[in-house]
Chains A and B, each alone.
Chain A
Amino acid sequence: MKIKLFALSIALLVAIPVLAHHSFAMFELTKDVTYEGTVVEYRWENPHTHIILKVDPGAADPSTVGTWDIEGGATSIMGRQGWTRSTFKAGDHAKLVAHPMKDGVTKGASLFYAILPDGKRLYHDIARPKGEGGATSSQ
């Protein structure tokens, strides 16, 4: 009986690499990329707020063209930085600075801050750009 259990567990361990073919959701934290486009979805929720942003061809940075999942933090964390459930809505124009995925393929990024029309910045969390005081690590 224990041989059967052992064999089962080995079989499962072998299956893990096959199941885990997605890349880690690690972001290139040293890279700040500006994504400017139209909000497709503004998901104000836990565990992470998501802004789905569509960047049209002809954007200043061609690498940002496409539909991106820009991930923010929990509602309490974002709320403390001034975000609300109605900061954005579908159809709004948005300019977001974020850290893209390390794999360079998946269109996902970790939100650093949003630049509002009046120039004010809405940060994801307490991190600030180097030289502006506050924590320098974005996560």
Chain B
Amino acid sequence: MTIVEICHSIQQTGWATGFRQADLFFPLVEGTHILSLSLSVGLVLMLDVRLLGWGFQSETVSKVMRQVMRWALPGFAIVIVTGVLLFLAQAESVYTNSYFRVKMAMLVLLGVNAAIFQFKYYPEPFMWEKSGTVPAGAKAIAALSLVFWMVVIACGRLMAYEL
């Protein structure tokens, strides 16, 4: 079975059809998905701004990161759960959408980006923090994060413009 066929059968299940036909539940899930972007991406962008030296300079990077992650992690949990529900409801339509594919590819890159930051710059808490200078590599990661998240959000919106 091809992926498209699997997506097609998911979309045809009673659960997925019921979810699509729900007058209130569907908009609630979709609305929550979008609103929780502020609680996830919005917060991560603050960390990126700190790393790039554009703001929040009075706080150390580790302090900003701790505070951001405290709320961004539950925020991302909400984004992911609602996103999965939305995907399952329209699996085939969404899987064949070009903007959805770019969005997913970007999310993979963002995952790699975050992993590199986590394993290269975060452990041995911020030995570079004392020097007050953010390493060039961490800045590059922050810049990419900023750009990639903008693309993800734009693609999420643009999905509606492809039949």
Interface residues of A (CB under 8 A from B): 1-2, 5-6, 8-9, 12, 16, 19-22, 24-26, 44-47, 69, 71, 74-76, 79, 85, 101, 106, 108
Task: Check A47/B160 contact, CB under 8 A, given A5-B113, A76-B27.
Answer: yes
By CB atoms of chain A within 10 A, which of B20, B112, B140, B161 has the most?
B20
Partner of B163, one of A2, A9, A76, A106: A106
- CB contact list, B109-145 vs A, under 8 A: 109, 112-113, 116, 120, 136-137, 140-141, 144
Nearest B residue (CB) for A12: B105
Q: Which of B26, B102, B113 contacts A46 (CB 8 A)?
A: B26
B27 contacts A46, C-beta separation under 8 Å: yes
CB distance from B99 to the nearest CB of A (A): 7
Given A22-B163, A75-B23, A85-B21, 8 more A-B residue pairs with CB atoms under 8 Å apart are A5-B140, A9-B144, A9-B147, A19-B102, A25-B163, A45-B20, A71-B163, A76-B27
Chain B residues in the interface with A (C-beta under 8 A): 17, 20-24, 26-27, 30, 89-90, 98-99, 101-102, 105-106, 109, 112-113, 116, 120, 136-137, 140-141, 144, 147-148, 160-163
When the two chains form the complex, which single residue of A1, A74, A108 contacts B137, counting CB atoms closer than 8 Å? A1
Minimum CB–CB distance for A103 against chain B, Å: 10
User: Known interface pairs A19-B98, A21-B98. Does A26 touch B161 (Cβ–Cβ under 8 Å)?
Assistant: yes
A16 & B102 in contact (Cβ 8 Å cutoff): yes
Inter-subunit contact B109/A8 (CB<8 Å)? yes
Shortest beta-carbon distance, A79 to chain B, in Å?
A: 7
- Chain B: CB-nearest residue to A27: B163
- In the bound complex, residues from chain B placing their C-beta under 8 Å from that of A47 are 26, 30, 90, 160
Tally of A-B residue pairs with Cβ under 8 A?
75
- On whether A79 and B23 interact (CB within 8 A), knowing A1-B137, A12-B109, the answer reads yes
Chief secondary structure at chain B's binding surface: helix
Checking A5, A76, A101 against B144 with a beta-carbon cut-off of 8 angstroms, the contacting residue is: A5
CA distance A22 to B163 in the complex (A): 8
Q: How far is the CB of B30 from chain A (nearest CB, A)?
A: 7
Nearest Cβ on chain B to A22's Cβ, whole angstroms: 5
B113 to A, closest residue via Cβ? A5
User: Nearest CB to that of B11 among chain A residues?
Assistant: A45
**Which A residues touch B141, using CB under 8 A?**
2, 5
> B163 and A69: CB pair below 8 A?
yes
Contacting pair A76 B23 (CB below 8 A): yes
Bound state CA distance, A69 and B144, in angstroms?
Answer: 39
List A contacts of B24 (CB < 8 A): 76
Top 7 A-B pairs, shortest CB-CB distance: A45-B20, A2-B140, A46-B26, A25-B163, A19-B98, A20-B98, A108-B163
Which residues of B have CB within 8 Å of A76? Answer: 23-24, 27
Distance from A10 Cβ to chain B, minimum over Cβ atoms (Å): 11
Looking at B26, B30, B120, the one whose CB has the most chain A CB atoms below 10 A away is B26
